Amino acid sequence: MRLIRLAGLFVGALVLCGGAGAVPPRLVVQAPPAMGVNSVAVSPEGSVVATAADEGGVRLYDARTGAMLRVLGDVGDRGVCFVGDGKMLTAAGFHMDKLVGVYDAGSGQRVAALAGQTEWEAYATAVSRDGKLLASTGADKQILVWEVGTGKLRFQLKDQPTNVAALAFSPDGATLASGGGDRVVKLWDTSTGRLRGSLGPWRLSVRDRVFG
C-alpha cells in the first residue's frame, strides 16, 4: 500500500511539473454520479456532458468547468443521446409506461412520448445526426425507429433472435446498425426497414452499398 501511495505521489509530481509528457485532466466532474456510469454523451456544440448511471436519471455537466448543471430524474439510466441541436435528449432504461421519451434538456419536461415498446425496459437508444430519427431496442426484442418531429413509428423490426444491446446511425442517417448477443451486426435501411447487410464472425455480407 505504501508503494502504491508513493507511486501516486510520483505520478502527481510528474503531472505538475509537466514531466514524461503527461497531460493534466481537462474536465473534473464536481459532483460525480453515485453509481456506475452506463453511458456518456456530449452535446453537438460541445458545451454539455450528459451521463446516465445506475442510480437512475441523467446528470448534465458543464463541459468546461465540470460543474453539475442539473439532474433529470425518471429519464432513463443508460444509452443517453442528445437530439438535434442538443436542447433535447433521450435515454434508454426502465419506462414503466412503455413509452420512449424525448425530454427538454433544460427543464427535464417530456416533450414527446414514442409508443411501440411492449416491455418496460429499453436497452439502447440512438439518434440520427440531423435529429430526425430516433431508434430504440429493449427487452421485447424489437428495434423501433420513429420520426422525432411527428412521433410517427417509421418501422418496427420484431422478433430479433437475441437481445439487441447497441444501436448506431450512419452519418447520413440512411443506415441503422444493431448488435447483440448473436455476435452479428446488422445494417438496416432507415427508409424501408429492409436488412441491407450483416457483419458477423468470419464473414462479411453486404447486399448493397451501405455507407454511401
What are the boundaries of each domain within the chain? 73-206
Measured in whole angstroms, the distance separating CA 83 from the mean position of its chain's CA atoms is 11
Q: How many CB atoms lie within 10 A of CB 121?
A: 17
Q: Average pLDDT, whole number, for the chain?
A: 83
pLDDT greater at residue 158 or residue 204: 158
Averaged pLDDT, 74-103: 91
Predicted local confidence at residue 23, as pLDDT = 60
**Which of the listed CATH numbers 2.130.10.10, 3.30.70.270, 3.40.50.970, 3.40.50.300 matches domain 73-206?**
2.130.10.10
Instruction: Reply yes or no on whether the pLDDT at 128 is more than 80.
Output: yes
Q: Please state, in angstroms and rounded to a whole number, the distance separating the CA atoms of residues 69 and 60.
A: 5
- What pLDDT does residue 171 have? 95
In the block, cell 446498425 appears at 177
3-state secondary structure of 61: strand
CA dist., res. 84 & res. 16, Å (int) = 39
Between residues 204 and 130, the one the model is more confident about: 130
Q: What is the pLDDT of residue 15?
A: 35
- Report the pLDDT value the prediction gives residue 212, as an integer from 0 to 100: 41
CA distances from 90 to 55, 79, 131, 210 (A): 17, 8, 11, 26
Please report which confidence band the pLDDT of residue 28 belongs to, taking 50, 70 and 90 as the band edges.
low
Q: What is the pLDDT of residue 208?
A: 43
> Concatenated DSSP letters for 26-81?
S---SS--SS-EEEEEE-TTSSEEEEEETTSSEEEEETTT--EEEEETTS-SEEEE
Q: Dump pLDDT digits (tens) for 37-71.
A: 888 999 999 999 999 988 888 999 999 998 999 99
